[in-house]
Amino acid sequence: RSSRRGMLGAPCAPCCGGEAMSEAGFFTIGLDFDGSISAQDTLSSRLDNVVDLRVLEDDLRLYAGPRGVNSLRENLRLMRRAYPQPWLTFLGSGDFHHCTLALLETLEVSGPFVLVLIDNHPDWFSERPAYHCGNWVSSALELPHLASAWLVGQDSTDLRGHQFWSAPWDAL
């Protein structure tokens, strides 16, 4: 499949016409905040869509303020209307994984779901801002439909000393 590039605020049509989906039943989408997805030809050519969000790069790298979060949410809502099926989403570099919180916030779900996070860092600290690489999971745990979070692969220094004790244990 060839991938079409979306523009900020205007999601492009699925590359194959109609509702494109992988064989697994997911719409595969890349949210390209810094060009790292479009630079990977093998990956981007296999996605149903790659949305160019580089205009938000400076507002979202490592943490996000209100302007960046609001713009991201607005774009995600437009994309969710255009692609209502389940998504398998690629975010590119690790500098933007906290944008997962906005993805979860814009989900329209009918029942509880489980978040599975595969990451070296737990990203669960209860510090602000809410959209930060180190704490977005603690904010996600407050979402009404999130039943639980499963964290897999954590092996960072975040799990030692005082940082270990600042985890939101009641919610994990």
Q: In the prediction, which pLDDT does 18 show? A: 39
Q: Looking at this protein, which amino acid is placed at residue 31? A: L
Three-point CA angle 10, 60, 127, nearest 5°? 135
Block residue for tokens 């490592």: 62
Q: What whole-number distance in Å separates Cα of residue 115 and Cα of residue 157?
A: 22
- Whether the Cβ atoms of residue 27 and residue 4 lie closer than 8 Å to each other: no
Q: Could you check whether the bond before residue 129 is cis, i.e. omega within 30 degrees of 0?
A: yes
Per-residue pLDDT of the chain (172 residues; tens, 9 = 90+): 333 444 444 444 334 333 556 666 889 999 999 999 999 999 999 999 999 999 999 999 998 889 999 999 999 999 999 999 999 999 988 899 999 999 999 998 889 999 998 888 888 777 777 677 778 888 898 999 999 888 888 887 767 766 666 677 776 6
How much is the pTM? 0.81
Q: Is 115 exposed, middle or buried (0-12, 13-18, 19+ CB in 10 A)?
A: middle
